[in-house]
């Protein structure tokens, strides 16, 4: 019997909470973090009977909907225009001109004609911004309509809800591989130890898994046999107002009156992180929507302005000065001219000057009025179309850059990602390149190569490493020794146990099936957990299963056992998989019995698309368990399985070094089998397993440079510590004679590994007294309970107290191979005149070895090392390699002039023992004190500060996540791509934009001086010598596309020439193609060409009758020909599309005037120019005047080009 639809409980359909009544005004005024004062008090929503819109949390805090759009539907146009006006002052200037033109006293154009330039610019930007905002709206909708299971108090069950409806105080259920919808306090896990793992790539760019813990008091919620439902949680959470610090949380739970438990960052699951290796988690929402940390950190990267744009702003100021001089001079001359013409004898208020429509009786006042008129007349000297044109050019340049096949990596299937569209030309002006080492110059694929725990160095045969340099190779001698001396050699034992136990590596665990996502029967109706509702009863379900089983022989598929043999499973008792509250009261029908045979979905049920997908996913997939184990009444979670198939890595590691150590230890029989917050299971030689109880972990920190773990042993608490050699060796106890010999031998091994370029780590241990440990642990936990901004620093200091009196166990050497093409790239950058810096955290010996192998240090150059200021006195000459210690870099940051002088003369610089914060400080130092155009390149989250501090930031998409790639201006896959990016595309972008900027400044100067010369013979009346419509359209239509095409496809040298001769990059690095001198030359050339264009027709018509329209047509055509010829002389690489554009716009010029002569009528245009262009073009005089005008106007520039080509060879010209 099919139950009627109205009887169904739609627990699987979308739960849309009822909206608040329209008469409820409080819904309009929603809480925001900016209004919060003091701490939040959050009580779970399931404790209250009110509708959701009446909940206290609804009124006080924002919901989970996000909005990243800049504008609303009805506010878009006014807000966008206001934004354009307030951010681009040139728009304000042209709006002022348009408004000024509406005043009859000042009007130089027809009133509405003056709105065309500013209207064109505003509308173009309006369309662009509208499209961008529409894309933001679509992205917001996609995020807001994601779903998550939220506890429904009325139905007493979890129901699926859109993210945007989630409120602070809601209890949420998140399944494996799902994103966390808000900032959630972690209260329950499918793991009985109260742990889960999250991937925080969306937050910090790190792809490694991070462990999160349930607060200690609430661990029973996760334990087997606990029949937990959200109403069991009745605590009140007190937390600080939202703040953007991702790894900081100041909050506590009041379990009972006066009884509190502190919440740490390890108890929080932040919005945007993804649940991994955990079947499900449950928790309460503390921050939602824009109050979450990921949204508060969703700020914009620092806005960067290129050097060309900064210089252009100064040139615009100079243009304004020229404009002011011309306006004042012309107004003064206007007043003088009117003063020279007496008033009429008949009317004291009218002069006898012909064609003067209106004037005041006083020439001085006329001169003042003339200021406004001449501002309108000469407005074009500020290039209004420059901003739009340059933006189009940059977008086109970025497009072609992103399509370069030589910047594509087939192994990662990634091309260059251009994240910043406004600084491509900055790539052609770089003077300093600052690079991270690990993952940037190297592959960041750490390979375990050598180790030593006594006087013997254990490493693979060199021939074996060369045969496969990407994989660790077993040292046969060490393997034999482990077999023979395990476990009697305690020193060797503790060395390897330290390697396996002391790390943050996570064991991969699969599969994870959350029963809440599968579905269940309720009132004889099947509810699919993660899809829409369908009318399928239990009886129908059984019938379909029988059909599946009957078709087994028709379409055989792989059985689960075929890959199950590749999995090693650690037995564990089964447990209920998820909370599905309220089901205990429902009648439980008999579950259909399945066998393990593969099945195929028949066509008869294919109409139930979501249901068939569910069956396909859970019945046919060879790695999914049968559906009997997925139904809620028989839901049994298998123990997480550790995959050990051939090339599959069974571990997730925050640090590649740790992964290399774990993989290296496994070569000798020490394997990490399983790990939780309280214990670690390892495999030891011989195949046995040992379980170690973990008492405390002191995590790695960049300042401490070490990590420790304390485990319980029969002898007492045992501390294992590992880290940088400097951090470990400084904490060793006073050695005995034997230990002294042993330590000296290991230090020699460290130096040997460093000289070979290996990354070194030291391992030590300390056996603790039980009472001493308990006292320390009590004080450590007290510090953990402190709600203070300095808590992390205090915890590090406490860890330092116990990480001393150590016994040195051994050292390791890990290889990080250089990327292909690194040496060639650095050499090319150095030949281009760039000073290359490498910033690394390695010790001196390792850093020097890498500097030599990567080509940073040229063998023929002297290398100087600077430890203190006294070392500066010994440095002589120019062009040397420089090594800076941390103390020396501190001097540079302080601006020590002696050190800065030495740095200016260096070819390459190496900084060692650098911390992430120091890298950013060095970048600022180079920008501020050395006055260089800085490019930084890195691959990790710790490189983000220096990437954002530089003029150009390059991110490497590598093993350390996407944070650097997300924060950069350009993201590439390989360091060697930097060579083509700078030497080819950077050179082209700078060269083309320099030409475009200079051409626009010249063209507008040429245009405005044509008007100026006309005033000499027009009584300084601020009139135009050409048609006003054409005058308005010329700079924004008739002469804008040609420089766009030139700015996109012109080349002064081919890519092969630029790569083979890096010296050609020098003009951009020195900024010689866009200078004050060139601005002055182009301005003078524009004035000269304007004089030729004006006076050649003027002299031609001397003594003849010539109308204004005819003379204006000569002027407009001469301007078009000379501007086009000027740009043609500047073009270095002609091709058919470029030539076609030039010819097209010349034809468009004449077509406009012909059409304009036909459509213009006397009734709307006084003295319409009917057939004037046609008649002019029919005469030989017109074409002779155009030819003579163009030749004379362009001759100085053309002659200088010829002289330049005579004096310098082609190669010398490119270098200059």
Domain with residue 35: its CATH number is 2.70.150.10
Question: Higher confidence at residue 928 or residue 529?
Answer: 928
Interval 194-204 mean pLDDT:
81
Q: What local confidence, expressed as pLDDT, does residue 412 receive?
A: 84
pTM, entire model: 0.73
Above 60 in pLDDT, residue 22? no
DSSP label of 1023: -
Same domain, 397 and 347: no
Structure token digits, residue 711 = 């485990």
- Rounded average pLDDT over 340-357: 54
Pair 624, 525 in one domain? yes
Give the count of beta carbons closer than 10 Å to the beta carbon of residue 683: 17
Give the integer Cα–Cα distance in Å for 1130 and 387.
21
Residue 519 or residue 281, greater confidence: 281
Average pLDDT over residues 822-837: 94
* Mean pLDDT of the chain, nearest integer: 80
DSSP string, 1189-1207: HHHHHHHHHHHHHHHHHHH
Give 829 or 962, the one with higher predicted confidence: 829
The answer to whether residue 673 is domain-embedded is: no
Q: Return the ∠ at Cα 1212 (arms to 1208 and 1213), rounded to 5°.
A: 75
SS3 of 179, please? strand
Lowest mean pLDDT among 136-140, 234-238, 926-930: 136-140
In-domain check, residue 658: no
3-state class (DSSP) for residue 716: strand
User: What mean pLDDT is predicted for residues 474-492?
Assistant: 91
pLDDT of residue 236: 93
Task: Evaluate whether residue 1031 is within a structural domain.
Answer: yes
Please give the DSSP secondary-structure letter assigned to residue 34: G
Q: Is the pLDDT of residue 435 over 80?
A: yes
Is the model's pLDDT at 281 over the cut of 60? yes
Confidence of residue 1124 (pLDDT cuts 50, 70, 90): very high
Residues 1070 and 1159 in one domain: yes
Tally of domains in the chain: 7
Residue 418 forms beta bridges with which residues?
Answer: 970
Assess whether 1148 and 1010 both reside in one domain: yes
Q: Would you say 1033 and 1027 are in contact if contact means Cβ atoms under 8 Å apart?
A: no
User: How high is the pLDDT of residue 530?
Assistant: 43
- pLDDT value of residue 635: 33
Q: Of 89, 118, 146, which marks where a domain is finished?
A: 146
Tens of pLDDT along 616-650?
Answer: 444 434 333 333 333 333 333 333 333 333 445 67
Model pLDDT, residue 542: 60
What average pLDDT score do residues 40-47 get?
Answer: 92
1033-1043 pLDDT tens trace: 888 788 888 99
The domain in which residue 1112 lies consists of 385-401+987-1215
pLDDT digits over 790-818, tens only? 777 888 889 999 999 999 999 999 988 88
Flag whether pLDDT at 761 surpasses 60.
yes
3-state secondary structure of 211: strand
Q: 711-737: per-residue pLDDT in tens? A: 999 999 999 999 988 889 989 998 888
Same domain, 325 and 459: no
Report the run of H or E that residue 445 belongs to, with start and end: strand 442-452
Q: Please indicate whether residue 980 or residue 554 has the higher confidence score (pLDDT).
A: 980
Evaluate if residue 668 carries a pLDDT over 90. Answer: yes
779 and 849 share a domain?
A: no
pLDDT for res 332: 86
pLDDT value at position 455?
81
Is it the case that residue 833 has pLDDT exceeding 60? yes
Among 113, 146, 179, residue at a domain's last position: 146
The predicted structure's pLDDT at residue 382: 81
Confidence band, pLDDT 50/70/90 cuts, at residue 615? very low
Same domain (yes/no): 352, 230: no
Note whether residue 880 is domain-resident: yes
Contact at 8 Å (CB) between 226 and 220?
Answer: yes
pLDDT of residue 590: 37
CA dihedral for 579, 582, 585, 587, sign (positive or negative): negative
Residues 133 and 210 in one domain: no
426 and 477 share one domain: no
User: The CATH number of the domain where 773 resides is what?
Assistant: 3.40.1110
Q: Find the mean pLDDT for residues 903-928.
A: 89
Residue 1089 has what pLDDT? Answer: 96
| Residues shown for the chain | 1216
Quote the Cα angle for 1012-1014-1020, to 5°: 75
Instruction: Summarize the confidence of residues 158-176 as an average pLDDT.
Output: 93
Residue 791 · residue 731 · CB < 8 Å: no
Q: Does the pLDDT of residue 582 top 70, yes or no?
A: no
Claim to verify: residue 214 and residue 318 sit in the same structural domain:
no
Q: How confident is the model at residue 831 (pLDDT cuts 50, 70, 90)?
A: very high
Which of 274-283, 583-592, 761-770 has the largest mean confidence? 761-770
Residue 30 has pLDDT above 60, yes or no: no
Strands (E), 841-903: 863-866, 881-884
Q: What would you report as the CA-atom Rg of the chain, rounded to the nearest whole angstrom?
A: 38
Report the distance separating Cα 695 and Cα 688, nearest Å. Answer: 23
CA 916/CA 577 separation, integer angstroms: 43
pLDDT of residue 363: 62
- pLDDT (average), residues 1171-1192: 90
Higher pLDDT, 1075 or 652: 1075
Q: How far apart are CA 247 and CA 392, in angstroms?
A: 41
Q: For 309-328, what is each residue's pLDDT tens digit?
A: 889 888 988 998 999 999 99
Encode pLDDT of 977-1005 as tens digits: 999 999 999 999 999 999 999 999 999 99
Q: Which residues of 276-285 are buried (b: 16+ CB within 10 A; e: fewer)?
A: bbbbbbbbbb
pLDDT > 50? residue 14 = yes
| 1045/393 Cα distance (integer angstroms) | 8
pLDDT average, residue stretch 580-590: 37
pLDDT for 992 equals: 94
* 601 vs 543: which has the higher pLDDT: 543
Residue 204 in any domain: the answer is yes
CATH number of the domain encompassing residue 884: 3.40.50.1000
What DSSP designation does 35 have? Answer: G
Residues in Cβ contact with 605 at an 8 Å cutoff, skipping those fewer than 6 apart: 544, 547, 611, 612, 615
Structure tokens that stand for 1128 in this block: 């043609």
Note the pLDDT of residue 850: 86
Say how far apart CA 443 and CA 595 lie, in whole Å: 48
Domain boundary among 942, 972, 1002: 972
Instruction: Give percent of the chain with pLDDT exceeding 70.
Output: 78
The reply to whether 1037 falls in a domain is yes
pLDDT of residue 1216: 57
- In eight-state DSSP terms, residue 70 is S
Do 787 and 846 sit in the same domain of this protein?
A: no
Least confident of 90-94, 927-931, 1006-1010: 90-94
Which is more confidently placed, 119 or 982? Answer: 982
Q: What's the pLDDT at 859?
A: 84
8 pLDDT more than 50: no
Residue 1056 sits in the same domain as residue 1205: yes
pLDDT score recorded for residue 1205: 77
Residue with tokens 């890195």: 938
pLDDT in tens, 68-107: 788 888 888 888 888 777 766 677 777 877 777 777 666 5
- Confirm whether 507 is domain-assigned: no
Q: Among candidates 224, 238, 226, which has minimal Cα distance to 191?
A: 224
């Amino acid at each position: 019997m099919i139950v009627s639809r109205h009887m169904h409980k739609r627990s699987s359909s979308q739960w849309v909470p009822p909206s608040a009544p329209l008469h409820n005004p409080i819904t309009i005024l929603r809480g925001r973090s900016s209004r919060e004062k003091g701490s939040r008090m959050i009580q779970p929503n399931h404790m209250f009977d009110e509708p959701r819109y009446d909940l206290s949390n609804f009124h006080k805090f924002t919901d989970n909907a996000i909005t990243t759009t800049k504008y609303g539907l009805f506010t878009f146009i006014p807000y966008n225009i206001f934004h354009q006006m307030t951010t681009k002052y040139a728009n304000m200037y042209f709006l002022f001109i348009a408004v000024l033109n509406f005043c009859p006293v000042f009007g130089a154009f027809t009133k509405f004609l003056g709105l065309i330039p500013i209207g064109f610019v505003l509308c173009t930007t309006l369309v662009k911004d509208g499209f961008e905002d529409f894309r933001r709206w679509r992205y917001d909708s996609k995020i807001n309509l994601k779903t998550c299971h939220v506890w429904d108090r009325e139905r007493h069950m979890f129901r699926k809800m859109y993210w945007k409806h989630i409120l602070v105080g809601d209890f949420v259920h998140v399944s494996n591989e799902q994103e966390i919808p808000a900032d959630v306090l972690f209260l329950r896990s499918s793991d009985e130890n109260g742990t889960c793992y999250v991937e925080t790539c969306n937050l910090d760019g790190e792809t490694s898994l991070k462990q999160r813990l349930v607060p200690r008091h609430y661990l029973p919620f996760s334990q087997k046999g606990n029949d937990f439902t959200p109403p069991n949680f009745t605590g009140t959470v007190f937390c600080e107002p939202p703040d953007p610090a991702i790894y900081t949380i100041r909050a506590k739970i009041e379990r009972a009156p006066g009884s509190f438990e502190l919440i740490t960052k390890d108890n929080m699951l932040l919005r945007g992180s993804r649940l991994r290796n955990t079947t499900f988690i449950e928790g309460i929402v503390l921050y939602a929507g824009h109050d979450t940390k990921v949204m508060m950190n969703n700020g914009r990267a620092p806005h960067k302005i290129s050097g060309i744009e900064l210089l252009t702003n100064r040139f615009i100021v100079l243009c304004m000065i020229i404009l002011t001089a011309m306006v004042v001079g012309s107004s003064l001359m206007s007043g003088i001219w009117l003063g020279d013409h007496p008033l009429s004898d008949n009317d004291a208020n009218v002069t006898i000057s012909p064609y003067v429509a209106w004037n005041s009786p006083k020439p001085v006042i006329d001169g003042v009025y003339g200021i406004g008129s001449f501002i309108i007349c000469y407005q074009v000297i500020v290039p209004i179309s420059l901003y739009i044109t340059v933006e189009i050019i940059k977008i086109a340049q970025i497009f072609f850059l992103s399509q370069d096949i030589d910047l594509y990596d087939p192994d990662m299937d990634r091309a260059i990602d251009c994240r910043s569209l406004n600084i491509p030309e900055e790539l052609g002006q770089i003077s300093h390149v600052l690079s991270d080492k690990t993952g940037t110059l190297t592959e960041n694929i750490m390979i375990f190569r050598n180790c030593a725990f006594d006087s013997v160095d254990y490493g693979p045969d060199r021939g074996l490493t060369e045969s496969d340099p990407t994989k660790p190779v077993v040292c046969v001698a060490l393997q034999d020794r482990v077999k023979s001396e395990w476990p009697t050699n305690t020193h060797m034992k503790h060395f390897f146990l330290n390697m396996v136990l002391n790390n943050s590596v996570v064991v991969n665990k699969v599969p994870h099936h959350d029963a809440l996502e599968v579905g269940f029967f309720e009132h004889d109706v099947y509810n699919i957990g993660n899809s829409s509702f369908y009318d399928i009863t239990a009886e129908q379900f059984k019938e379909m299963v029988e059909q599946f089983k009957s078709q087994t022989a028709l379409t055989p598929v792989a059985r689960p056992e075929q890959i199950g043999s590749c999995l090693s499973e650690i037995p564990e008792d089964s447990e209920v998989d998820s909370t599905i509250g309220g089901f205990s009261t429902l009648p439980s029908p008999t579950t259909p019995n399945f066998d393990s045979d593969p099945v195929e979905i028949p066509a008869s049920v294919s109409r139930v698309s979501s249901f068939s997908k569910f069956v396909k996913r859970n019945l046919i997939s060879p790695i999914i368990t049968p559906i009997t184990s997925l139904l809620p009444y028989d839901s049994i979670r298998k123990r997480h399985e550790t995959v050990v198939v051939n090339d599959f890595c069974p571990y997730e590691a925050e640090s590649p070094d740790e992964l290399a150590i774990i993989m290296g230890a496994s070569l000798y029989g020490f394997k990490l089998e399983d790990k939780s917050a309280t214990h670690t299971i390892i495999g030891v030689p011989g195949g046995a397993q040992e379980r170690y109880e973990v008492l405390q972990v002191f995590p790695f920190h960049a300042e401490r440079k070490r990590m420790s773990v304390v485990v319980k042993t029969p002898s007492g608490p045992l501390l294992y510590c590992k880290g940088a050699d400097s951090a470990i060796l400084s904490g060793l106890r006073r050695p005995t004679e034997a230990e002294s010999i042993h330590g000296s031998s290991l230090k020699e091994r460290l130096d040997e590994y460093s000289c070979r370029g290996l990354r070194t780590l030291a391992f030590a241990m300390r056996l603790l007294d039980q009472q001493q440990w308990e006292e320390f642990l009590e004080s450590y936990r007290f510090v953990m309970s402190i709600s203070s901004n300095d808590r992390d620093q205090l915890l590090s200091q406490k860890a330092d107290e116990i990480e001393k009196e150590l016994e040195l166990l051994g050292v390791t050497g890990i290889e990080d191979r250089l990327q292909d093409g690194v040496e060639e790239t650095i050499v090319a950058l150095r030949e281009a005149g760039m000073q290359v810096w490498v910033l690394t955290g390695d010790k001196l010996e390792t850093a020097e070895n890498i500097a030599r192998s990567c080509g940073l240090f040229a063998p023929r150059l002297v290398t100087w090392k600077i430890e203190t200021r006294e070392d500066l006195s010994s440095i002589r000459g120019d062009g040397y390699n420089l090594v800076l210690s941390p103390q020396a870099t501190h001097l540079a940051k302080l601006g020590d002039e002696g050190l800065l002088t030495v740095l200016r003369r260096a070819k390459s610089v190496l900084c060692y023992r650098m911390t992430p914060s120091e890298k950013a400080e060095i970048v600022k130092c180079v920008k501020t004190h050395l006055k260089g155009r800085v490019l930084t390149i890195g691959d990790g989250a710790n490189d983000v500060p220096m990437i954002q501090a530089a003029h150009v930031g390059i991110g490497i998409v590598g093993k350390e996540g996407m944070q650097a790639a997300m924060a950069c201006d350009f993201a590439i896959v390989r360091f060697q791509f930097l060579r083509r990016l700078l030497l080819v595309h950077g050179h082209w972008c700078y060269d083309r934009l320099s030409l475009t900027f200079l051409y626009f400044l010249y063209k507008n100067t040429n245009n405005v001086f044509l008007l100026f010369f006309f005033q000499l013979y027009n009584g300084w009346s601020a009139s135009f010598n050409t048609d006003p419509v054409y005058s308005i359209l010329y700079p924004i239509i008739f002469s804008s596309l040609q420089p766009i095409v030139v700015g996109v496809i012109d080349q002064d040298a081919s890519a092969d020439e630029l790569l083979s001769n890096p010296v050609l990059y020098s003009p951009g690095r020195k900024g010689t193609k866009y200078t004050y001198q060139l601005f002055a030359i182009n301005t003078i050339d524009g004035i000269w060409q304007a004089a030729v264009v004006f006076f050649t027709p003027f002299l031609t018509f001397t003594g003849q009758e010539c109308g204004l329209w005819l003379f204006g047509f000569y002027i407009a055509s001469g301007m078009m020909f000379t501007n086009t010829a000027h740009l043609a002389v500047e073009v270095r690489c002609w091709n058919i599309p470029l030539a076609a554009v030039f010819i097209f716009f010349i034809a468009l010029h004449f077509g406009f005037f012909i059409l304009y002569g036909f459509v213009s009528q006397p009734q709307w245009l006084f003295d319409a120019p009917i057939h004037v262009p046609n008649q002019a073009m029919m005469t030989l005089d017109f074409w002779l005047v155009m030819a003579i005008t163009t030749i004379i106007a362009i001759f100085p520039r053309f002659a200088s080009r010829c002289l330049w080509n005579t004096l310098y060879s082609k190669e010398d010209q490119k270098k200059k």
